[in-house]
Amino acid sequence: MEPSGQIIDFHIEKKALSGEPDECGDTGLIKMYDNFCFLALVDVLGHGKPAAREALLSKDYLDHNYTKHLTDIINGMHEYLRGTRGAVAAVCRLDLTTGILQYSGMGNIHLRLFGTKQESLVTKDGVIGYIMPSPVQDQTRLVSGDVLVMTSDGIKEHFDPHAYPRITTGRAKEICNNFIKLLGKGTDDMSCIALRFGI
């Protein structure tokens, strides 16, 4: 995709612990609109069909609210999921003309930048729909060649990039599959969003 002369490539991949697609408690959304790309990854607590049903609720909420301010999205999802088992989530909005990436989140969805700089984007601890502090929105800037990776906690957070020198090479779909295949814990649902900014 090439908005405003800037090429981006993105993909989302998820895998249920059971292997059955309708039993995955992880979900996500990527939306292009105007000159922005919105990305969200949600991990409902637990796994199996009950978690998958609540993941669908989360996806429905995001589908109808992705243009809002990021902290409003997190707060709104918190109200929307009250009374459920709860979830963790991260939401990002990338300005395709400037490379500015805004992000917010609650809980252990991991955000990492690879490329010109190695950076972990830190969000707050809490459970959406249960107990959480007020979310905050931060930002960083991507430059051509940078890769953003968002992963649920079914994928290892800590790893030595030198041990996996090609994990962020190739297209976004390949990057997602690499993270799931090489770093999946095998004890929970797994999901990954990858976005490559520029060439």
Query: Alpha-carbon distance 87 to 153, whole Å?
Result: 12
How confident is the model at residue 169, as a pLDDT?
92
Q: How many domains does the chain have?
A: 1
**For the domain that residue 123 is a member of, what is the CATH number?**
3.60.40.10
- pLDDT tens digits, one per residue of 119-138: 999 999 999 999 999 999 99
Full-model pTM: 0.94
**What pLDDT, on a 0 to 100 scale, did the predictor assign at position 2?**
41
The three-class DSSP label of residue 36 is strand
CA angle 84, 110, 34 (to 5 degrees): 85
Domain span at 110: 3-197
Contacts of 168 (CB under 8 A, 6+ apart): 114, 115, 147, 149, 175, 178, 194
pLDDT digits 0-9 by tens, 135-179 = 999 999 999 999 999 999 999 999 888 899 899 999 999 999 999
Segment 104-128 mean pLDDT:
94
Listed residue (100, 176, 91, 195) closest to 143, CA to CA: 100
Closest among 19, 21, 20, 26 to 51, alpha carbons compared: 26
3-state secondary structure of 60: helix
